[in-house]
Amino acid sequence: MNIGIIGLGFVGLSFAAVLGSKKIPVIGMDTNQDKLKKIYNSKSPFYEPDIDKFLKNALSKTLRLTDNFTNVVSNSDIIFLTVGTPKSKSGYIDLSMLKNASKSIGIAIKKLKKTPIIVVKSTVVPGTAVDVVIPTIEKFSSKKHGKNFHVLSNPEFLKEGSAINDTLNPHLIVIGGLNSKPVTKLSNFYKKLYGEKIKIMKTNSQTAEMIKYANNSFLATKISFINQISALCQSIPGTNVDEIAEAIGYDPRIGNLFLKAGPGYGGSCLPKDLSTLIHYSSKIGNDPSLLKAVQKTNNIQIHQIMKILKKNLVTLKNKNITILGLSFKENSDDIRESRSIELIKILLKNGCKVTAHDPKSIENTKLIFDKKINYSNSITNSLKNSDCAIIMTAWENYKKLTNHSFTNMNKKFIIDSRRILTQKNLDVNYIGLGLGNN
Ligand code: UGA
């Protein structure tokens, strides 16, 4: 079985690297030449643990690369569509990359003899496979869906920062489509890849598409819930949000994952998918009241940090603030919708002087703030003369900080939005978000 993957972002590249490393014939396709050049040299265009290693292995085995739609379509039995579906300016989903890819697939299969299966892995609103992908391919190929080609929906659940591991060990495969033959073919491909015991759920494509949004918005809801409890704890002396999360997590009806309070969720998925689902609900006449509250709770969570700062520093003008962690989560260089970036914008508005440190995301952050803030590759230097250090991302390096690390600060004042230094009993003014301080 030959596999094609169109779009080499987080999902596409991780999948290509894993398939290639397992000696499955796979062609990865992307139209971005710079990206392809890096990938050819076993270098992922983004930071992701283990991906370069898997890429190198895959390229030495069965992974081939191309920038050409006809090449990938004519040489593949199953073609995964993993192009980006970012947020448009209006806050809704931008399907232009998916539409372009569908058009190019249509043109490429016009003269094709075989019957390819096209699998939409990109996150798309319910109805996209049926209303956008199939008609576009039919229009440009003059061929019939169900006869000359098949389209299935197959949402992805991997997380940035653990993309390779998640691709190797998915908790579930969802396949949406009504025609049983291609569904069985895709299902057999996954069984061969992951073993007979892999949980596969078969449904129609609209439900499969909706599962992805339900999944991500439920995760966002869990985080906003615990963040609201965290904000409450902040005002109740002696309370500890981590102990509360641990206790409720033992209730199997609740579960212990995604209950880590913090500065709010960021990244390229949860904020975007929630926003899309809110737009989509309103569009079809349903008031997404809960989803709106989840979004609002997330947006206001960083004001908890501002509240603590103002209370402790009185005036913020010309204060030196160190931001430890710029990426939206550890083990990633992705700063899209990162709460750190939003916090820095607010700090700058308040006249603060910001110095930022991150093990992987400084270059990406320079593209946003350029010379408006200072950058440091060393934690020690970033803390020099600082009036407050704010830990925003739970990088391993920050967990190793000790009293000694803070000696050159102007004021030894730490706000820890992820509570990674709580157990250290530091000899500084330490405030953990969600710990009711007296
Ligand atoms: C998310 C989902 O978790 C994946 O299942 C999904 O496939 C992906 O979106 C996607 O749609 O592509 P991702 O955004 O990569 O994955 O990362 P998460 O681990 O979900 O983290 C998102 C944000 O939530 C981060 O800012 C993280 O710090 C925050 N978070 C997460 C918390 O604040 N607390 C938690 O307990 C968990």
With 60 as the cut, is the pLDDT of residue 438 above it?
no
* Ligand 1 pocket, residue 156 CB under 6 Å: yes
In this prediction, residues 150-157 reach a mean pLDDT of 98
- Is 330 a pocket residue for ligand 1 (Cβ < 6 Å)? no
Residue 332: pLDDT over 70: yes
pLDDT in tens, 200-227: 999 999 999 999 999 999 999 999 999 9
Does the structure show a pLDDT above 60 at 248? Answer: yes
What residue has token string 């709010």? Answer: 264
Which DSSP category does 431 fall into? E
User: Cβ contacts of residue 372 below 8 Å, gap of 6+?
Assistant: 348, 354
CA-derived radius of gyration, the chain:
24
Angstrom distance (rounded) from CA 320 to CA 389: 9
Residue 296: is it exposed, middle or buried by C-beta count within 10 angstroms (0-12/13-18/19+)?
Answer: exposed
pLDDT at 437: 77
Flag whether pLDDT at 264 surpasses 60. Answer: yes
Residue 129 is encoded by which pair of tokens? 């496979």
pLDDT of residue 90: 83
Q: Which pLDDT score, from 0 to 100, does residue 318 have?
A: 97
Ligand 1 centroid to Cα of residue 160, in Å, is 8
- Ligand 1 contact via 336 beta carbon (within 6 Å): no
Contact between residue 434 and residue 225 where contact means Cβ atoms under 8 Å apart: no
CB of 225 closer than 6 angstroms to any ligand 1 atom = no
Active site residue 269: yes
Ligand 1 pocket mutation pick from 154, 269, 335, 337 by most atoms within 8 angstroms of CB: 269
118 pLDDT more than 60: yes
**Own/partner long-range contacts of 187-193 (Cβ < 8 Å, ≥24 apart):** 189/1, 189/3, 189/78, 192/1, 193/19, 193/22, 193/24
> Is the CB of residue 277 below 6 angstroms from any atom belonging to ligand 1?
no
pLDDT exceeds cutoff 90 at 178:
no
Q: Is the pLDDT of residue 423 over 80?
A: yes
User: Atom of ligand 1 at shortest distance to CA of 258?
Assistant: 36
Q: Is 9 in the pocket of ligand 1 (CB under 6 A)?
A: no
Distance CA 341, CA 230 (A): 21
CA-nearest residue, atom 12 of ligand 1: 269
383 alpha carbon to ligand 1 midpoint, in Å? 29
Of ligand 1's listed atoms, the one at least distance from the Cα of 156 is 7
**Got the DSSP string for 197-236?**
TS-EEEE-HHHHHHHHHHHHHHHHHHHHHHHHHHHHHHTS
Pocket test for ligand 1, best of 223, 244, 361 (most atoms within 8 A of CB): 223
Nearest CA to ligand 1 atom 2: 159
What is the helix (H) or strand (E) element at residue 150, kind and residue range?
strand 150-153
Which of 431, 307, 321 is closest to 376 using CA atoms? 321
User: What does the H/E/C string look like for 365-414?
Assistant: HHHHHHHHCEEECCHHHHHCCCCEEEECCCCHHHHCCCHHHHCCCCCCEE
pLDDT tens-digit map of 290-316: 999 999 999 999 999 999 999 999 899
What is the CA(328)–ligand 1 centre distance, in A?
9
Answer yes or no: are the C-beta atoms of 4 and 76 closer than 8 Å: yes
Work out which ligand 1 atom sits closest to the CA atom of 162. Answer: 15
**CA distances in angstroms from 160 to 11, 105, 169, 330, 348, listed in the order given:** 9, 28, 14, 9, 29
**Which residue has a Cα nearest atom 17 of ligand 1?**
159
Q: Is residue 78 over pLDDT 70?
A: yes
Q: Compute the average pLDDT of residues 340-367.
A: 98
* Nearest one of 376, 372, 415, 369 to 392, comparing CA atoms: 415
State the distance from the centre of ligand 1 to the C-alpha of 157, rounded, in angstroms: 10
Q: How many residues does the structure list for the chain?
A: 438
d(CA 233, CA 248): 15
Split at pLDDT 50, 70, 90, the class of 346 is very high
Give the Å distances, CA to CA, from 176 to 56, 187, 210, 219, 235: 32, 11, 10, 22, 47
* Residue of minimum CA distance from atom 34 in ligand 1: 260
Name the residue with the closest Cα to ligand 1, atom 29.
265
pLDDT mean over 123-137 = 98
Tell me the mean pLDDT in the region 46-64.
Answer: 97
Q: Ligand 1 within 6 A of 160 CB?
A: yes
Confirm or reject: Cβ of 159 under 6 Å from ligand 1.
Answer: yes
Q: Ligand 1 in contact with 262 (CB < 6 A)?
A: yes
The pick from 120, 218, 219, 298 for probing ligand 1's pocket by mutation, whose C-beta has the most ligand atoms within 8 angstroms, reads: 219
Q: What single-letter amino acid sits at 5?
A: I
pLDDT of residue 205: 97
Helix (H) or strand (E) holding 312: helix 302-313
Asked whether residue 282 carries a pLDDT value surpassing 90, the answer given is yes
Which H or E element spans position 307?
helix 302-313
* Reported pTM: 0.96
User: Given the structure tokens 């609209």, which residue do they identify?
Assistant: 206
Residue 135 reports pLDDT greater than 60: yes
Starting at the edge strand that comes first in sequence, how are the strands of the sheet with 374-376 ordered?
374-376, 353-357, 320-324, 388-391, 413-416, 429-432
Residue 421 to residue 427: CA distance in whole angstroms:
12
On average, the pLDDT of the chain sits at 97
The pLDDT value given to residue 338? 98
Q: What angle do helix axes 339-349 and 302-313 make, rounded to 10 degrees?
A: 40
Confidence (pLDDT) at 91: 81
Rounded average pLDDT over 353-377: 98
Q: Can you give the pLDDT at residue 258? A: 98
Distance CA 190, CA 427 (A): 53
Banded model confidence at residue 186, pLDDT cuts 50, 70, 90: very high
A 10 A CB-CB count for 88 gives 15
Among the listed residues 243, 236, 246, 260, the one whose alpha carbon sits nearest the alpha carbon of residue 436: 236
In the numeric block, which tokens belong to residue 265?
């969720």
368 falls in which pLDDT band (50, 70, 90)? very high
- Asked if residue 253 has pLDDT above 90, the reply is yes
